[in-house]
Amino acid sequence: MVKPNEITKKIKRIAEDCGADLVGIAETKPYHYYSHRGRPLEHYGEKVDDLLPYAVVFGVRMKRENIEQAPNLPEVIESSMSYVKAAIIGMQISYFIRELGYRARNHMDGNYLVVLPTLARDAGLGEIGRNGLLITPKYGPAVRLGAVTTEMPLEPDEKLNIDLSSFCDICTRCAKKCPMQAIPHGERVMIDGELRWRITQEKCYSFWGKIGTDCGLCIKNCPFGREADLMELKEYTLLQLLQRLTKK
Going residue by residue through the chain (248 aa), what tens digit of pLDDT does each one get? Answer: 678 999 999 999 999 999 999 999 999 999 999 999 988 888 899 999 989 999 999 999 999 999 999 999 999 999 999 999 999 999 999 999 999 999 999 999 989 999 999 999 999 999 999 999 999 999 999 999 999 999 999 999 999 989 999 999 999 999 999 999 999 999 999 987 889 999 999 999 999 999 888 899 999 999 999 988 898 888 777 777 877 777 66
Q: How far apart are CA 54 and CA 154, in angstroms?
A: 7
Residue 199 is predicted with a pLDDT of 95
Alpha-carbon distance of 205 to 149, in angstroms, equals: 28
Nearest partner of 56 among 146, 128, 121, 143, judged by Cα: 146
What are the structural domain ranges in the chain? 1-248
pTM above 0.95, yes or no: no
Is residue 158 classed as helix, strand or coil in its secondary structure?
coil
Please tell me the predicted confidence (pLDDT) of residue 248. Answer: 60
Element of type H or E holding 209: helix 201-211
